[in-house]
Amino acid sequence: MNIMLKLLLAVSAITTMWAPAAVLDVSAPEAKFVFEGTIEPLCKTSSGNNNSSRTLQLDASQQTQEIGTLDVWCNTGENATTEYSSANGGFLVANNTQNSKIAYTLDIGDTEGVDLESGAYKHIQATAAGTGSTGETRATLLKITPQSNGLNEAGTYSDTITVTVSPN
């Protein structure tokens, strides 16, 4: 038992001798604190003052008509990617008993003739975006061209386009 006590005291003494040496080796006249955080890439969009429905001219003229502006802001300093999808598969659909349809094409800024009948359209790295800490957006004009022929069935025709914006 005496041998065990001596061995325990010896180990304790050796451990105690090393502990102050370790503390003394890391002390210095200065301290440094390193820290960091991450702000993930982000884009925001709104339809600005375009919350009300637009009345379209649906006749044989097939006139291109403004439906609103898309306002975009990103914290990346780059243009955004936007994806456009139609609730009615790229058609204006009437509220009549036939659910009559009129096809249309979409213009996104300078990009003309986008057809949403085949599904969503991705406008890659092309939609202008505002930047900076003040949050000013940049606007992209959206227009549609109804493919009406002036002989379409009576009714009120409509569609909803949903735009999803993402950073590059």
pLDDT digits (tens, 9 = 90+) for 88-108: 999 999 999 999 999 999 999
Please report the pLDDT score of residue 5 as a whole number: 44
Q: Residue 155: CB partners within 8 Å, gap ≥ 6?
A: 94, 95, 96, 98, 100
pTM of the complete model: 0.76
Rounded Cα distance, 60 and 154, in Å: 14
| 34-81 per-position pLDDT tens digit | 999 999 999 999 866 565 678 999 999 999 999 999 999 999 999 999
- What does the block give as tokens for 36? 């960091």
The CATH number of the domain covering residues in 43-166: 2.60.40
